[in-house]
Structure 1
């Protein structure tokens, strides 16, 4: 646990060029030598937290219309195929200058929750749909990655395709996972990271800030924990109160209050400072239309939030990893003097400051 798939030399180059955090898109351009775009694909996968496998209630923040996705819908989509959809979208993104090559993003639902033979059918069609598809990224739950699925993903990775797993962890704290009815813990993510890395597959984790009952320290601890685990990338979102959810009922009853705009901006800046500088940042907010949410009232679109986070880091004179620390440094492994610990500590700080200058 702890070793990433991310190429740290590319990340160091980004910081050398003045970036304040390790942006995923810029990293991909360095890794490939060209700009890479994502092609979204909705194969109507079902979720075990809705269909009764784990629960019939879903996560507290997930709208109940997700329950309309059934295995019958899923099979109909697969039987119909989606090659033309992928081809059309790849050509569209290329025509508007989004990039040269594409990764198909299999999103919406739990996209490994299906028989392995069906997953193979989907992935075979995905990578063969267009010559400019260089691989795929699959969104799923950390508890829906059995050995057979991991081995299947590993086959595509071994064949030269770029493969990412995006695991919706949301938080590392058990009391929050229980409150949100996630039906999994942290152990599942630890295993997912290790098993993906064993197959040279990078793993991204979704993290939500502003969960009910989570303190600032707990949110920062999530940054430290996923850093120590070797998570390769993150998408950071504010907790959005979607209509027709358990969370909406909590919000309406006054037991949950959503984050304010600058409160969230400051939280993201804090989170980045506590995160390892080598965890790639794919998103800093959630694109969500005002018509489908109750709160927050401010616009959560990333194109609005991201510049403000960069500005906040600039004002502070900080960057991703500024406060990331998991152990004492070697030069700190000196027991403080018993007689004058305060003076000793000040002298030690002065020595370190001189050394860093």
Structure 2
């Protein structure tokens, strides 16, 4: 499987820039979320259980300790990106954010930051801070969890913001020279394949440098788990995901970098779909789909039939 021959992937992008492999190390900065602490609401998004994507025990460790533990367990690269993943990693006083980010950047192997957040939690002070790190030569990405460009869906999943908020944040980030990676979920309640394609189109039109796609995980403790238990939410099938994600890739301009094409979770946190326990199952099938139908950008008028690695 050589997806990087068909898709503009983040790994080869980093290797081309730094001359060797760069691996992401995920961090828990101890942040919360305005959709959980009562500022916007309580309970979070309907799909949310942070244990499905972050180690809650890590929040009690220092940033340096988390990085050291992960680096020791992942020996695939000498260089690393510090990925502030859990909850909303720009939701705090600017002094606290600066302290967290700089603790990470002080580690010798760290060459940049990826900061995961919500579109409604990115004030100008945060953009100024991140732009400063980029000006110092670090790789910096602002990862915005949008999930869907449809306002009706955003209300249904209790996001607490609309697409206009996302678009405005992207415009401000790009004005500071900060690249944006947009997160989109395939298989949200009430959404069709056509709606997923519309989300992609709107995100591309708004301007984006990176994308993350992942299937909807139904996880323990989420509100979607109750709908699934009651039989009101059929899990996304592997075939549905491959077709939808594959067509999203084919309709994405070749210059956009895919940071992720699928995601996994483990039982007992994961309720459904169980094929999400192993992300390779989706990647293998996506590779087959794109080899048959054409690579990134192949569905766009005037584009080549498949993505080609840059010279």
Q: What TM-score do you get using the length of structure 2 for normalisation?
A: 0.89
1:312 to 289, 297, 300: 289
SS at match of 1:25: helix
Q: Say which of 43, 62, 69 aligns to 2:48.
A: 62
| Aligned partners of 1:166 and 1:206 also within 8 Å | yes
CA distance in structure 2 between the partners assigned to 1:58 and 1:270 by the alignment: 30
Match among 102, 108, 114 for residue 80 of structure 2: 102
Structure 2 stretches of 5 or more lacking a match?
303-311
Q: Within the alignment, does 1:199 sit opposite 2:176 as a pair?
A: yes
| Shift >6 Å, 4+ stretches | none
For the residues of structure 1 that align with 2:157 and 2:4, how far apart are their CA atoms?
Answer: 38
Q: 1:349 maps to which residue? A: none
**In 2 relative to 1, CA 64–283 (structure 1 residues): closer, same or farther, beyond 3 Å?**
closer
User: Aligned to 1:298, what secondary structure does the other structure show?
Assistant: helix
Secondary structure, in 3 states, of the residue corresponding to 1:299? helix
What is the CA distance between 1:169 and its match in structure 2? 0.4
Aligned mates of 1:89, 1:180 — CA distance in 2: 32
Higher fraction of helix: 1
1:262: which partner in 2?
Answer: 239
Distance in 2, matches of 1:100 and 1:294, equals: 35
Residue 26 (structure 2) aligns with: 40
TM alignment of 1:200-349, pairs within 5 A:
200-316=177-293, 318-324=294-300
- Asked if 2 retains the 8 angstrom alpha-carbon contact of 1:102 and 1:133, the reply is yes
Q: Which residue in the other structure is 1:354 paired with? A: none
105, 111, 122: which one aligns with 2:100: 122
User: What is the DSSP-based 3-state SS (H/G/I as helix, E as strand, rest coil) of the residue aligned with 2:274?
Assistant: coil
For 1:9, the equivalent position in structure 2 comes to: none
State which of 131, 135, 139 in structure 2 corresponds to 1:162.
139
Structure 1 runs not aligned, ≥5 long = 1-14, 330-357
**Structure 1 residue aligned with 2:38:** 52
Shift in alpha-carbon separation, 1:18–1:152, aligned structure 2, 3 A:
closer
Measured on the aligned residues, the alpha-carbon RMSD in Å equals 2.5
Q: Secondary structure of the residue that 2:265 maps to in structure 1? A: coil
Structure 1 match to 2:309: none
Q: What is the total number of aligned residue pairs between the two structures?
A: 299
SS in structure 2 at match of 1:291: coil
Distance 1:284 1:320 in 2: 12
Task: Output the TM-score relative to the length of structure 1.
Answer: 0.78
2:7 aligned with 1:21:
yes
CA deviation map 1:60-83 (0-9, x unaligned)? 0013879xx99xx99x85xx7332
| Matched ranges for 1:346-357 at <5 A | none
Give the whole-Å Cα distance in 2 for the aligned partners of 1:60 and 1:92. Answer: 32
Q: Distance in 2 between matches of 1:88 and 1:252?
A: 37
CA distance in 1, matches of 2:279, 2:210: 17
Q: Take 1:266 and 1:218, find their aligned partners in 2: how far apart are those partners?
A: 13
Q: Which has the larger radius of gyration?
A: 1
CA distance in 2, matches of 1:18, 1:25: 9
The Cα shift of 1:261 comes to: 1.2
Q: Report the counterpart of residue 308 of structure 2 in structure 1.
A: none
Distance in 2, matches of 1:86 and 1:219, equals 35
Is residue 64–residue 245 contact of structure 1 (8 Å, CA) maintained in 2? Answer: no
Distance 1:118 1:222 in 2: 34
